Each structure stands twice: as structure tokens, then as C-alpha cells.
Amino acid sequence: MTAPAAGEAARIAEQAARASYGKLVAILALRDRDIAAAEDALSEALLAALTVWPRRGVPDNPDAWLVTAARNRMKNAARAGRVQRAAAPEIERRLGFADPGAALPDDRLRLMFVCAHPAIDPAARTPLILQTVLGLDAGRIARAFLTEPAAMSQRLVRAKLRIRDAGLRFALPEPEEMPARLDAVLDAIYAVFGQGWDGWDHPAAPDALTGEAIFLARLIAALMPGEPEPQGLLALMLYCTARRAARRDGDGGFVPLDRQDARLWDRSMIIEAEGLLGAAARAGRFGRFQCEAAIQSVHVQRPLTGRLNLAALRTLYDLLVRHTDSIGARIGRAVVMADAGEVDAAAAELGALGDKRVARHQPWWVARSHVAALAGRPAEAAAALETAIGLTDDPALRAHLMARLAALRDGTRGGRG
């Protein structure tokens, strides 16, 4: 062990929490199927690490230390009659955790499919995976689902109680049961990728949200080779990640897709994504993620053809809306409609979404500004852009939007973001 400063110990503890939260909860919850108790114990262990590690040094295996500390807290709770530990020795033997230095198995997929069990409310399955397995807090999950944090917290609590009270098996479902649970698992993986992508996470870092999402998608694609949607999701994320180096300029400024230098795109990732999308298409079952990946494929063709195929994008967005009718799909379709000259129809499409769900949804305001600018209504475009800027956390993206706003106020039209 080494004895770091308190700040360094805190950093290492935070890194362990980000990289390993889901699998640690999975290991702890295997004993009694009580996810809430496992999360509480892990939180206490992390707090203990902040106290112990600066004095005694960071353990060689921080994950195993956290598991041991959390188990000790859960054992103390058991003595008070709150949990039962009869099967603990056998579980420890099977997991290889008798020795605190033992390597951790990766049980995240198992727990993800448990959280997608048919006995759990369908509306809670994806949020439950995001919190329990991937470590997102209720506030971030609520923002992703355009709902109130309090309502999301209640939904998650009810789902965890359902798992505990029903005694749901912490095991991968039988092969014939897995397709019925797959959508919630893939939705969660894509949601966590989006959280990392919006936060400019670094896909190459082992603890990055984007890298974690890609890794999990690869596992599922290998586990279920006959299912096309995992391949579609993996292709979608690879298309996006391939453009990472082009998203910022030399000064760190945001670069919108239509202004990116395609020479900076990772061609190996694009080639892999194209292959995955083609393999998924051969299954003959077109789904949401294949559709979104196909949209990205159209954008990839722009540098080769010199133009963006708006007709293909419109067709794909129509299909996507039929598959999901999500707010994101409707916004994307509206922007394509406006770029193709259907400005009034695009404005109507966005107006149909104009309720409390999008009041704080930044992409909706950006799209509304874009459509208003194309319609020759600069004052309306500027007002929408001002709202979007107020909802933007990233400094580089905010600076880009502010430059567009200045252009609008000067009587010119800002470019698409």
C-alpha cells in the first residue's frame, strides 16, 4: 500500500466508484437480492475509504477492499435482523471473493437483465439499470427521461422493493427469455453513452461512460449473435465515437457535424460500424438502433458525395418515429424537414412537442431557433437560442451558441449545430 494525500485518496475512491459501481453492487446484491441495501453498504464503504486510505494507504485492489468493507456493514445489519446471510459462504466461494485480493468478476450484464425482469414496471426497467448497474443518480436519470427527479426516485425505490420482495433470480435468463428483456438493457446502455457523450467523456478511458457503454454493447452482441439490435446499437455508438477528435477545434471550441474535418474521423471505427450495420440488416428485423445507426451512416457519406442526402434522412427519421415516437426522433425529423425546405411543417412538428417535457430540453430550443431562422424570423430564432444557452452546461457548446446568437442579432443566420 501507498499513503497518498487526502485529495489523491479521494480521487482514487471516486475513480473506483465510477469504474466499478455497477459490478460491486451486483456482487453485493447477489446474496439477498436487496439492491437498496447493497447500494447503502457500498456508499458507507466509499465513505470509509475516504477516511482510511489517506492514513493507511490505498489497497492494491481497491475494488476488493470496498466489497469487503461493504460486506462487513451488511453483516452487521444482518445481526440486527434486517438481512439473511445463510448462503454467503457458498456465494463467496463461487465468486472467488474469500480473499480480498481476488479479482472481481463482471456481473453487470446479469444484474442488467434482472432489472429488466417482466415482473418490474416497464417504465422503471431502464432507469433502474442506469442507477443500479451504471451508477447514475436519480437527478441525471430524470433529466434523460424528461421527468421530475422526485417522481423518478419514487419509481426506482418501488422497482428495488419489487426485486427484493419477489425474490427475483440474480442470473441471466434462459436464452428464450432474453429477447423480451433486451430493449430495456439496450436503452440503458445507449442512455449512459449519451450521458458521457454530452459530457465530453473520453471513450478511450476505461472508466468513461462512453467507453463503458461500448464495452457492454460488445458483450451483448457477442452473447446474442442472432439479435440484430445489439449490433445496431454498437454500430451507432461507433459512428459517433469515430468523430470524437473532430468535435473540437485546436482551441477546444465546439465544431458542429456539418463543419467537421472528416479527415479527423476514425475510419477503422466507421468501417467496423458499417460492417455491423450490414450484418444486422441481414437478419431482416429492422429496429430502432439500426435505424439510428443508418442515420449516422448517411452523415458519414457526406464527405464522400459532397452533399447530405436529406431524402434518405427524412425516410429514416419517419421510420424512427414509427419505431419510438421519442422526442429526440421528432426533433431530428423536424430539423431535416426544415433543411429540405418544409419549414412550416417543421415548425408544426416542434410545436406539437411544446409542453412541459421540452421546456428545459436544450435540443428542442436549438432546433426551434434553427427552424425560425430558416423561416426568416430572426427575433424568434434569437429568443429560442437565448433559452437554449441558459440550458447549456458545456462552456464550449455555450460559446458556439452565443456566436450563433450574435450572428442572428447582426441580421445574419447562424449555422446548424
pLDDT single digits (tens) 357-401: 788 899 999 999 999 999 999 999 999 999 999 999 889 999 999
345 — alpha (psi -120 to 50), left (phi > 0) or beta?
alpha
Q: Is the pLDDT of residue 108 over 70?
A: yes
CA distance linking residue 288 with residue 275, whole number of Å: 17
pTM exceeds 0.75? no
What type of residue sits at position 80?
A
When pLDDT is cut at 50, 70 and 90, the band that residue 309 belongs to is very high
- At 377 the pLDDT is 92
The predicted-structure confidence for 140-179, as pLDDT tens digits, reads as follows 888 878 788 888 998 988 888 888 887 776 666 777 888 8
Report residue 310 CA to chain centroid gap.
27
CA distance linking residue 393 with residue 378, whole number of Å: 24
DSSP string, 238-263: HHHHHTGGGSB-TTS-B--GGGS-GG
Domain boundaries, the chain: 6-95, 107-171+182-225
**Angstrom distances, CA of residue 378 to CA of 230, 368, 370, 384, 406:** 42, 11, 10, 10, 11
CA distance linking residue 90 with residue 136, whole number of Å: 31
What type of residue sits at position 3?
A
